[in-house]
Amino acid sequence: MLENLHIKNVALIEECQVSFGKGLNILTGETGAGKSMLIDSLQFALGGRMGKDFLRKEQKMALVEALFSVKDRNFSCRLEESGIEPEEDGTLLISRTLNDAGKSVCRINGSIVTISMLRELAADLIDIYGQHEHQSLLNPSKHIRLLDRFCTGEFDEVMSVYKKSFEKRKEIDKQLEELMGDEAQREQRLDILNFQKEEIENAALSVEEEEELTEKKKRLTHMERLMRLTSESASLLYDGTDDLPSACDNLSVAVAKLRECITLDSTLEGYYSGLEDVYAKLEDISREVKRYAQNLEDDPAELEMVEERLQIIYKMKRKYGGSIEAALDFYAKITKEIAFFSNSQERVIQLTAEREKEQHILELSGKQLTALRQEAAERVAKQIEDSLKDMEMKNARFYIQVVSRDDWNATGKDKVEFLISANKGEDLKPLAKIASGGEMSRVMLALKSVLVDADEIETFIFDEIDTGVSGRTAAKVGKKMSVIGEKRQILCITHLPQIAAMADKHFLIEKQTKKEQTITRVKNLDEMASVEEVARLMGSTNITAATLTAAKELREGKKGS
């Protein structure tokens, strides 16, 4: 539901903020006051295109913000899939700016989005009906989804069986296409796969090897320095020189002196034991360092082998995913693909049998879906015809056509389209072919009144669709809107008092002059002001007690309906 609309620097609107309510929100005002500019602003916020006159004169930036409350959990999931964090309370803030250079920026809940993403997400928030607007109900591709919501009985269970079989058959067809495709392409693919498999096998990769080789390369590269340093360390620790005893020699002397000391003072025994342990450990380390130094040997050939091996590893990483793990995963994948192609004849026979099985399920469940849709189509068409008769279209015929498609898709093999004959003697034709604006208005209302529970969209906007409607018909149109308003939010721009009188919330759009500039303001009318505005719409130049009484009676009719 649209909770709030904030507009700034749009055409005649300097700035306004409108808080809409549940049910039927009526917008009235003199011709040219800017009523449609509110709808145009909302369309702009939802991704619509606007002309250069959209931006208020001498202003740098126009802004439109639309705040919605959304109950549909599926819509929240779509937001998350688009990378937008939904609010916990279900509120959704859409904002769009337009600068004087013609550039616009769109945001949803503060996150910048592309215009195409905005349009896609906003499509399920509001349906706008006007004399020249695109209306979702005129789009035959949506008709099957609407009809399916009226299908009863085991429809959901049958559809679940059908979709499962459809997806399985689609996967089988994909595999068969790969197996039975162009022979030359398949052989070429196998050659590539076998080459890649052999190359990875010959590389004999292991996850630990690269780290070990890298360490070994570092050692071999610096062998000369390593030999010198370890030899010097062994000399200092173990061998010593004529002028400088080794560390082991010096420590041995110290141990001997402490051994003599403990005969004189037993409290030194702990130090002696500790130092003796240190001497033993130093002697072991010194021998190992000397042995290590003696075994070192500069081997350029081994270094060359290590470098060659590392180059092979780097090549495999570069070609097959960037890491040894990725290369091994790639190997496993192509091994399966080779096996898949190698056993192609047996696999084709197996898949063909599986496809026949799924095709049988598709045809059976598809026929069930068609029967259930045809039953629902008759029922819903009768309800829509009755609704049209309520609005003085006594001779209208409505028909929901369910015909077979040439191919199967995710919803079955049915093509559904809503057809109408508005007048006696006319042939049935698509909704988009309705010529009269008044007829279109009533057809849209009839459809919405019946399909309101099947449509996910929470807010409908009717922009002066009462053209060509008057008198008794206008009153019935108003009541029909009021009925829809019990389940959905409606915003309606109208010139007809019979429709305005049905308002749950009434707004007056009027022009004012401010500092030699014309601006549009939106006023939320209380009950008395609403009655006066209905009286004005009744055509009275001067509002009299009689017109006020008539206007009150219209309003009372709303309360009593």
CA-CA distance, 275 to 253, in Å (whole number)?
11
Handedness of CA 148, 421, 444, 138 (dihedral sign): positive
Degrees, nearest 5: CA angle 119-453-502: 90
Q: Which of 82, 62, 63 is nearest to 122 (CA)?
A: 82
Cross-strand bridge partners of residue 46: none
What string of DSSP letters covers 163-210? HHHHHHHHHHHHHHHHHHS-HHHHHHHHHHHHHHHHHHHHHT--TTHH
Distance between CA atoms of 94 and 419, rounded to whole angstroms?
A: 36
pLDDT of residue 546: 86
User: Token pair of 137, please?
Assistant: 């109900």
User: Chain-centre distance of CA 527, in angstroms?
Assistant: 43
**Tally: H helices and E strands in the chain:** 18, 15
pLDDT of residue 540: 62
Per the document, the length of the chain is: 561
| CA–CA dist 495, 29 (Å, integer) | 8
Q: What is the pLDDT of residue 132?
A: 45
**Averaged pLDDT, groups of 10, the chain, 561 residues long:** 93 90 91 81 89 82 92 80 83 91 90 90 79 63 87 91 95 84 74 92 88 86 85 82 80 87 87 89 88 82 86 90 91 88 79 94 95 94 89 88 92 93 88 70 79 78 72 81 88 90 92 79 92 86 82 78 56
Regarding beta strands 24-28 and 489-493, do their DSSP bridges make them parallel or antiparallel, or are they unpaired?
Answer: parallel
Taking residue 401's Cβ as centre, other Cβ atoms within 10 Å add up to: 17
Q: Which residue has the tokens 């009676």?
A: 553
- Please give the pLDDT value at position 530: 92
Contact assessment for residue 15 and residue 7, using Cβ atoms and an 8 Å cutoff: yes
- pLDDT of res. 529: 93
| pTM score, whole prediction | 0.60
Query: For 1-125+457-561, which CATH superfamily applies?
Result: P-loop containing nucleotide triphosphate hydrolases (3.40.50.300)
Cross-strand pairs, 513: 518
Residue spans per domain, the chain: 1-125+457-561
For 278-297, letters b (16+ CB in 10 Å) and e give ebeebbeebeebbeebeeee
